[in-house]
Amino acid sequence: MAGLRDVPAHWLTSEGITKGMDIVCHESALSISISDGSGFVFPLGMTMRTPGMDKELVIGLLFSEGIIDNFNQISEIQVLNDEILVIIPSLDEKNMSEFQRRISSTSSCGVCGKDSISNLLHIHGPELSEDVLIKSSVINDSIEELRKKQSIFQKTGGAHASGLFDVNGKLLFIAEDIGRHNAMDKLVGSILSKSPEIFSKSFILFSGRLSFELVHKARRAGIPVLVAIGAPSSLAIDIALEHGLTLVGFAKNNNMTVYSGRGRISH
């Protein structure tokens, strides 16, 4: 299965020591570059990710950082091992320094540095729908549905998951990755290239805690409701409140905490 790796290990228990092969979540570097197709190539840097859905990961990343506004701006994606080159004919070479990754990001850091954060806060998305209403029971049921589909996590215990659900709790798409932001980018990139109109009438369930950049990615895509099993950060709540996004944390055991946008959640 993609995203998995076998490694030698020893197990120490009260019954003694055994050795064998363990299954872990695969983590490796992906080098990302963009070009206008005329020979100019701009290296964005590297991100650590779980291999699989690399194209979707990069599409989601470019979209969330404002380098593209829709999938049709991309004319070609070239993949060579752990390197990706995206051809964007409308690319403005003069503005690219604003987007360059100042340092290589890790699987736990999607955006690093004050300048990067400041730039993201000025990138908005479509108006969020006020017509979405989701029953708390639907959210509770979706948690179990997401858990059943987390194949990499079930085998390794080391992957985050991001699931897109419709208002009735139907799972539309799921992405897993060792990095929280990567799981979201894979989801957004996949849907963006197929049917982005479903973003406005769906919600995302996330398996871990929520940082501000995950809220930004949801806001950028026009997803009105973001639910997490874990805790949100203070900046995640601030961004959700500012833009009218519904933010739900600690969704487990038939309980949840709504931090913003309570009107989209019904009991």
Catalytic residue set: 109
CA distance 86 to 144: 36
The candidate with the shortest Cα–Cα distance to 164, out of 131, 137, 134, is 134
Phi, psi dihedral angles at 162 (to 5 degrees) = -130, 120
- The three-state secondary structure class of 110 is coil
Please check whether residue 63 is in contact with residue 80, taking contact to mean a CB–CB distance below 8 angstroms: no
Q: What angle do CA 222, 160, 142 make, to 5 degrees?
A: 65
User: How crowded is the C-beta side of 186, counted as CA atoms within 13 Å?
Assistant: 22
Please state, in angstroms and as integers, the Cα–Cα distance from residue 140 to each residue in 83, 85, 176, 227, 253, following that order.
Answer: 39, 40, 20, 10, 8
- The three-state secondary structure class of 226 is strand
Please check whether residue 262 is in contact with residue 133, taking contact to mean a CB–CB distance below 8 angstroms: no
